[in-house]
Structure 1
Amino acid sequence: MKKFVTLVAILGLSSVLAACSSSNQNKAETIEGSYVLISANDQTLPQSIPPVIDLSVSDDLTEVQIKGKMCNLFNGNANYQNGVLQGNFMMTRALCNEPELNALDMQVSQMFAKGVKVQKSDDKLILTSGTDTLVYQQKALPMTQKDNTK
């Protein structure tokens, strides 16, 4: 009887761990994509050249490759665990004509270095770190053109 209880406890624990792992997998898979920044700390941004971010999730769902542009281009890898992305970027260092984007360059780099809580709601990606919040909208996938030649 003792062995049976131990076996049931082990199976129950395995099920709980599998459910947690599955939950993290689903979250990682849903954040993958291309996004356009629509607001930073509740401020709308100039859209002359909209800031973007692309997230590509690794096969094991624990690392995310990040590429983007505020004023400058940035890229790097971030660890993804329990809904938090954390990592450092390489970034170009040019001065922009739009001061908001210059400030966002430093902000996004600092946010990811500290760790960013990731939330996905419909087509919005919300990144939060401390008091900073960036809201991105997922880009529509490009339409494929039909071949009308015969």
Structure 2
Amino acid sequence: MPALLGAARGVYGSQIRSALRDSGFDDMPRRGTFVLGAVANHGSTLADAVAGLGTTKQAASQLVDALVSRGYLERAPDPDDRRRVTVTLTDQGRAAAKETQTAIRAVDQRLARAVGAEQVATTRAVLGALVESSGDPHFGD
């Protein structure tokens, strides 16, 4: 299963990188679309945007720095809590996030044609349950 999950992630990643490159976003850092997606889908503080990266704080900060310097994100102090930093998408960031979503939908549609929408929905539910179970100390007993 881990090998299949890695290969499946590679299919999505390849499609996303190709779509971004074709649309002129060829300077997107590795894992940058993850952060853009977090901000686009949830609006985020900096901590929230990088929480799921699974990297060190330093690596996450360097990724955000790259996204800011390349014009995808803007960073500002949280007006309600000066200790926190908010990140927002720039116009360029919104356009790159839209291209990423389009690429993901294209893979999803190909997958649905290959195995059916119901199978895709079941797979999504199974993977969601796996992710949610990661905090369960009895999972896998």
Q: When the two structures are superposed, what TM-score results if normalisation uses the length of structure 1?
A: 0.25
Q: Which has the larger radius of gyration?
A: 1
Q: Answer 1 or 2: higher relative contact order, Cα 8 Å, separation at least 6.
A: 2
Q: Which has the higher helix share?
A: 2
Q: When the two structures are superposed, what TM-score results if normalisation uses the length of structure 2?
A: 0.26
